[in-house]
Amino acid sequence: MKNKIKEGHPRGLMTLFFSEMWERVCYYGMRVLLTLYLVKSLMKGDADAALIYGAYTGLVYAAPILGGKMADKYLGYRNAVLLGAVLMAIGEFVILGGSEQFLMIGMGALILGNGYFKANISTIVGKLYKENDPRRDSGFTIFYIGINIGALLATTVVAYVGETYGFKYGFALAGIGMLMGLFIFYFGRDNYSAAEGLGYTEEGKQKAFGPFNKAQMVAFASLILIPVAYFLIRNNGLMDYLLLALFVFISIVLIKAGIDADTTEKVKIWKDRMIALLIFMLINIAFWACFEQAGTSLTLFADRNVDREVFGWVMPASNTQFFNPFFIIVFGSIFSVMWVKLDKIGKNPSIPMKFALGIFQLALGFLVTKIGLQFVNDAYQVPILTLVFLYLLHTTGELFLSPIGLSMVTKLSPKKIAGTAMGAWFLSFAIANYVGGKIASLTGGHSDTGEALTPAEGLAKYTDIFGTIGLVLISIAVLIALFNKPLKKLMHGVV
């Protein structure tokens, strides 16, 4: 009996699994429809829609840096997740107002809510396990499956309902998904009560203003960030300066922390490791800026230039985004076993080579569109199999890079700045999503002079740009492979 208990997982894991699953239905449900909603309902041009999408997703990935800090210092993890869930649900239902104004306000609430929810529910999962508990990695793998089931539901059910019956029904369904996650998290709170740091911190309990303590004031004050997010999405050109300044700032912080750690421990490894981390952040930006074309240029490409008929049924364009979470669920466990097997026989690629191979597969995915051109129909559409193989290669590329990156950050950074280093890694995703919007704005159904393109011209433009992206990514992959040894040297034994 004791062995069974030891081999199993804490009962709170499944509560957190389903809470996160439904939150992902909410987030991806909104995201899968966003570009099409902007173009088809709000009549935005492709470039404008791409830049709005990029600014939104960039801020979504930047928000957890603040959400994690506020939970650590004032709110506690459970309260932060509950606040985030409420804000995300409100954001989805505000979008139902149907105007651009309501959309921007809703996106502001979703950004802030995601920052509180996403940063802290993963922390609670980690705190269910004691340090060095061998079940921890397995627990996070189970949790990761929940994320992808949520993404799969969003890109199938929510996407189909939104495109078939009206965008407002899709957004409403996403909001209901968030309410489901909120109820499961709140009413199942006894299941994960053993985790530390759930309630207000000692500093958070201190009186701040009238009957309110510091934690409550932080929650109220954070609402100011909704109009800030609204302003940044509207004036997305300012994101260039904001994200560049943040990257320069975090680079200085990491290098200084590495130098301080070297001085304290009387070694010369941490500065080099911080330099390596910054290089990998740049590589990460390149990968995800191209990968995140899924929600913008690739969705519009599917809408206009892909024959989506499957056995007489025409698949909605947004549904094509389901291939990625589907392939993640299919191949995720296979890859985790593969790394262990390769490690045992001494054939496990180094971290730089995994990044290079991941980017190479991403490149091949974009180049598949060139092969699709050989099978164009009379309506200037490539076969649906073009996107199947594109997303298959993008997903295998993701599995070479994404889980490896998270593990790498924890190994490269000194313990004193582990949280800051992870925040820096999330910042690279924020920059990538924003840059992805910039790249997507170069594609689209309009010429440089603003005239609408014919289907033939649109197909040529999409495939030319996708082909260029593929060739640039191959160059980056080759460059990383060539610098494999110097990068490994900077990492000082981290594998």
Task: State the fold for domain 237-495.
Answer: Growth Hormone; Chain: A; (1.20.1250)
Q: Residue 132: is its pLDDT beyond 90?
A: no
Q: Between the CA of residue 94 and those of 97, 107, 157, 273, what are the distances in Å?
A: 6, 9, 21, 45
Which pLDDT score, from 0 to 100, does residue 9 have?
Answer: 84
Report percent pLDDT > 70 for the chain. Answer: 97
Which of 152-161, 173-182, 399-408, 430-439 comes out lowest in average pLDDT? 399-408
pLDDT class of 332 with cuts at 50, 70, 90: confident
Query: What H or E segment, with its residue span, contains residue 314?
Result: strand 313-314
The mean per-residue pLDDT over the stretch 114-124 comes to 89
Q: What pLDDT, in 10s, does the model give residues 8-62?
A: 788 899 999 999 999 999 999 999 999 999 999 999 999 999 999 999 999 999 9
The mean per-residue pLDDT over the stretch 123-130 comes to 86
Which pLDDT score, from 0 to 100, does residue 468 have?
Answer: 97
The dihedrals phi and psi of 442, each to the nearest 5 degrees, come to -80, -20
Q: Residue 2: is its pLDDT beyond 80?
A: no
End-to-end CA distance of the chain: 37
CA distance 23 to 46: 28
CATH number attached to the domain at 10-235: 1.20.1250.20
The mean per-residue pLDDT over the stretch 314-320 comes to 96
Which pLDDT score, from 0 to 100, does residue 447 have?
Answer: 61
Neighbours of 268 (CB within 10 A): 12
Helices within 71-166 (DSSP H only): 77-95, 100-127, 136-153, 159-165
The mean per-residue pLDDT over the stretch 352-379 comes to 97
Q: What residue ranges do the domains of the chain occupy?
A: 10-235, 237-495
Which pLDDT score, from 0 to 100, does residue 18 have?
Answer: 96
* Six token digits for residue 87: 């804000």
Evaluate if pTM is beyond 0.75.
Answer: yes
* Six token digits for residue 316: 């909605």
Q: What pLDDT, in 10s, does the model give residues 242-260?
A: 999 999 999 999 999 999 9
pLDDT class of 415 with cuts at 50, 70, 90: confident
Q: Residue 5: is its pLDDT beyond 50?
A: no
Which pLDDT score, from 0 to 100, does residue 4 have?
Answer: 39
Report percent pLDDT > 90 for the chain. Answer: 74
Q: Residue 7: is its pLDDT beyond 80?
A: no
Q: What pLDDT, in 10s, does the model give residues 446-487?
A: 666 567 789 999 999 999 999 999 999 999 999 999 999 999
CA distance 396 to 415: 31
| Residue burial 294-328, b: 16+ Cβ < 10 Å; e: rest | bbbbbbbbbbbbbbbeeeeeebbbbbbbbbbbbbb
Q: Which of 398, 295, 328 is nearest to 35 (CA)?
A: 295
State the average pLDDT for the chain: 92
* Six token digits for residue 329: 């669920």
